[in-house]
Amino acid sequence: MIVGDLLHLDDLSIRLAWGTPDLLDRPVTGVSSTDLQDPARYLRPGELVLTGLVWWQPADASGALRFATALRSAGVAALLAGEGTHGSIPDGLAEACRTHGIPLLAVPAGVSFRAVTDRVYLRLWGNLRAGAQDTAAIPETVRSELLGLVRAEAGPDEVLTRAVGRLGLPDCSISTAGGRRIARSRTEASTGASPSDGSVGRGGPGLPVGRGGPGLPVGRGGPGLPVGPQDGSPFDGWRLRTHPHTPAAEPALQGLAELLAPLAARARAAAGARRRAAGRLLDALVDDGGLAEPLAGCGLGGAGALTAVTARIEPGRTGDEVPADWAAHALAEALHPLGVPYAAGTDRTGRGAALVAAPAERVTERLRRARPALQARLTGRRTLRIGVGPAAPPTAGALRAALVQARYVLADAAGPVGSATELDTLAGLLSGIPAEVTAAFHARLLAPLTAHDEENSVSLLGTLAVFLEHDGSWARTAEALHLHVNTVHYRIRRIEELTGRNLARLRDRLDLRAALLCGPAAAGQTPTG
């Protein structure tokens, strides 16, 4: 599809406000809606940008130019401006688009952006080739019937059920690349298969949040056929499978996958909108902006306390690059089955981040169950790590603090999914501090003891560790080390002389205990005498 095709969709009556023939030949890759004045961070090259011009103010002469500059930096294909808000397209916007070489199209007041989006994706992914009937082995009457359901916005469950009945296919299902069930043919329900994971509107308009069920194992029903757009993410995109896998059904299955492509494209657009809305919410936390609108845009308005989550995918080797949005995709796959509103996107540090309307303990348990299947989708020794912060009230300060805690436990090497609610020991607290900092702290406090132990057979580091583990008890330390209590007294005095600390004071004991925890594991080993 190219930009100029929009002018030939008679039922939408889209008009050209400005553009040259060569610009109208630009290829289109997708659609994005925005009313931000600087939306560049949320756009992709080749997209059509829909805006209702809510951001435009007549008194701000430079606003249109800033908006067009953002579009040019993102490499968009064209701008579609709605006339419903101001009655017409401002002359300043047309001039700004002319300056930056961005085709400008006018969307009449009576045309919904949803209609435009659906028609674009139907054109991108739903144009069935005239010669596809023979190869896809789908009769034209059935093809027309199924395509009519798709254009009528029927759900994938209904389309699958009709296709199975009309084509004599085995039971079919659609799952994400990450293994989460999207839809099934209804006849499959009689086989005892797990329930559908379909979308249930729990968020704001256009931003449904799903109730989930168990994902479909990749091994069941064969590897599956890709449906609609695929962007390379191991967790994104749809797969169509039959149950059981039947090679004879593959020609018809290919045609069915082609028919379902508009639904997949529509779902992909909705998921992209959810991620962009989440990104705006995460930005508002950093910028101390108002939260009411971004929370409502993510379906979290009035949700109460929110649990903060952050995630990253660590490269498997030097030079390996992992796309920034993969971690957000993984979080969405894992959180969807909770059946609660959530917002999952990419924050400014490049991590995946989410806010979830569920208790931290429930979120942690779900992520720990979901992570092995998501990790199995990664290749090249890449590792998915997740940190869960506490639940916090929906204020900027509280949510920002919760995200900071989630990022802290993300750095904890103790496990792939860490939780701030389980951070209740000094060792756990120290584990999230960078290794360079803990190593320096260990050396600064205990270097004299390390030097002593390298030159003597008696381990003062080991003695210190045992003494602190036994709460400063001379007798129990002597028993543990198989020493006379006077020997323990002598060693502790020597430790105090070398470190300049008084082990009778709690503050100094805590400092030395922390220093031991910051050092290598061998520092805490019990000496023989």
- Which class does domain 3-123 fall in? alpha beta
pLDDT of residue 327: 93
Has residue 5 got a pLDDT over 60? yes
Dihedral (CA of 491, 493, 495, 498) sign: negative
pLDDT of residue 290: 85
Determine the Cα–Cα distance for residues 71 and 64; give it in Å rounded to an integer: 11
What φ, ψ does residue 312 adopt, rounded to 5°? -150, 155
| pLDDT tens readout for residues 474-515 | 999 999 999 999 999 999 999 999 999 999 899 988 888 888
Is 3:28 a contact under the CB 8 Å cutoff?
yes
Determine the Cα–Cα distance for residues 472 and 506; give it in Å rounded to an integer: 10
The C-alpha angle 350, 433, 310, rounded to 5 degrees, equals: 30
The two tokens of residue 481 are: 């080390």
The two tokens of residue 242 are: 């039959």
Is 455:421 a contact under the CB 8 Å cutoff?
no
The C-alpha angle 222, 225, 229, rounded to 5 degrees, equals: 150
Sequence spans of domains, the chain: 3-123, 150-268, 290-422, 435-524
> What percentage of the chain has pLDDT greater than the value 70?
86
Is 417:350 a contact under the CB 8 Å cutoff?
no
What φ, ψ does residue 499 adopt, rounded to 5°? -95, -15
The two tokens of residue 255 are: 């045609």
Instruction: Give, in order, the Cα–Cα distances in Å from 138 to each of 255, 329, 380, 468.
Output: 7, 34, 40, 77
Residue 44: partners with Cβ closer than 8 Å, 6 or more residues away? 29, 30, 32, 74, 75
What H or E segment, with its residue span, contains residue 260? helix 250-287
Q: Which residue has the tokens 């929110």?
A: 306
pLDDT of residue 131: 40
| pLDDT tens readout for residues 188-243 | 444 443 333 333 223 332 223 333 333 333 334 456 888 877 767 888 889 998 88
Determine the Cα–Cα distance for residues 307 and 393; give it in Å rounded to an integer: 9
The pairing of strands 238-243 and 306-314 is: unpaired
Candidates 178, 196, 198; CA nearest to 187 is 196
Has residue 21 got a pLDDT over 50? yes
Candidates 280, 299, 305, 293; CA nearest to 395 is 305
Is 452:427 a contact under the CB 8 Å cutoff?
no
The two tokens of residue 307 are: 């649990």
| pLDDT tens readout for residues 344-354 | 999 888 889 99
**Is there a shared CATH topology between the 3-123 domain and the 435-524 domain?**
no
Q: What's the pTM value of the predicted model, to 2 decimals? A: 0.63
| pLDDT tens readout for residues 127-154 | 444 344 433 468 888 888 988 888 888 8
* CATH classification code of 435-524: 1.10.10.2840
- Which class does domain 290-422 fall in? alpha beta
